[in-house]
Structure 1
Amino acid sequence: MLKRILLLAIFILQLSFLKASIVVLNGLSHSYQVEHGKVYKGKIEIENTGQQSQSVKLFLQDYSYNADGTTNYTAPHTNRKTNSDWIKMNTNLVTLKGKEKTEIHYEILVPDKIAEPGSYWSVIMVEPVEEIKPDNNKQGVNITSIIRYAIQVITDIDSENAKPDLKFEGVKIEKEEGRQIVKVAMANKGNLYCKPTINVEIYNKKNGQKLGSFSSLASGLLPQTSKSFHIDISGIAPDSYNAVLIATDENENAFALNVELDVKND
């Protein structure tokens, strides 16, 4: 029993000293308006913030997510709207010295013919390569921290003939750290990426008086995915209310839903 406790203490001590050294400097989402047969160029800027040399591998995967919090990284061609075949990187492996920065360049070669307008996407995974050096003189488990980055590459083609189609899939209120949070599950059933914001307008049930308007942060929503949008309504007293949810994207397309909200003390 004592041995198990000692091993657990070593595990926690090792874990507490883990620190990521690779960071992506120019964002985790790259979007392009593209045309048939054209070539587009992009880059990924990374830095090794640590003192030791670090190798990094890059590879493509398909990507989707759901409002329940699940995220799926899968092999290319899992998603029928993948653009993984269009993306060519100038390297799949780089080694950075301590405090060094570098750029990985990629090209997007858009096919001459694409059957369906709208958004196509995949992610470039940026993953440190950990060199495992076993030490036979040490007992226990060596813990290695690996933090991967997924950089979305989103290409919109013939977007004038495509559109998002936002659907409300669920609404609930949860208390988090003393705040009342409306969580709205929103799906994009269309064929075009968008970045909606959700607003909730709250009304007194008895006299119809508007008590407040609250908004979520804008967040990207890929076609055929869903996401939970969070809205802080902590200024509203516990009671039952009428409310209107309004989702608006960056092109001012609006989608609305009437709901009842029960704000509780606990």
Structure 2
Amino acid sequence: MTSADMALPAQDERTLPAVVLRDLGTRPLEQALTDVQLLVEQHGHVIVVCSRVAPVAVRRRLHTLRSLLESDRIALFQPDLPPLGVAVLARQLRQLASCDLGPGVLASAGRLLVHYLHCGALLGSVTRLDCVPVNLKQHAKSWMPGSQFAVLAHPQPQLVRLGPETALDGPEFGTWMLVAKGQLPSDWVTAALAPAWKVQGLRECPLPAESPGWWGTGKMIEFCTYLPDLPVLYQLVTSVRRSTCHWCGIDVIGDRCVFCSATPPGQDAPPRPGPEDRATAG
């Protein structure tokens, strides 16, 4: 992880602790390089989970470190999820890290488990929201005092103004819900949404520091539903067909190696036609 507040408490006794790469964007490059190299030497492979709204300096530094180490044993995973969803996904990978999964399968599991998360927030304003489409009418209503909006960012964007009959499309399977409260006094998420989604358990945690930047406001309550049980996560991952990366030789699931980015032979994207090809086409 690149931020300490994204390292959620362990879900069970088998959950491995997170390693936090602190102050990655401000520390001297040599220190950061030494720390990451030590991690690779100790563990063999490193999976770095980072939010897409992490500071630009942090994201650039991650790519710089991987390039300098010239290592195919470092996977950079930046899922298109709100910060709380990223934190939940990282904890699920920490749960699975205690199982008999190879590094390629474990790193690939993140792209699979994303599909079982529902991430959203209750917002006091959508004037700066750009992760979910906002129409002009909703934008205008956000200026009205007391307006609140229920927003689902993943898996399918949804935005509705909060009212007595407000509903969001929830998961069709049993989940737990994690709630992170910002500067918005409301119990709608815990008192209305959680029962409507029939969540099997509910926990609260501090709001990630990157959440206001992702949602465009600090007046919010962020939530994420997830599968908490390790046996269920393990069954999901092991039920997917594995293949061996033809470049670096590790087992992976999916069509792209998360460590070296290689795709199976014959599945690489075809080259774009050049000027000569376009001139003779048709």
Does TM, normalized by the shorter one, top 0.5?
Answer: no
For Structure 1 versus Structure 2, the TM-score category normalised by the shorter chain is under 0.3
TM-score (norm 1): 0.23
More strand, by proportion: 1
TM-score (norm 2): 0.22
Larger Rg: 1
More helix, by proportion: 2
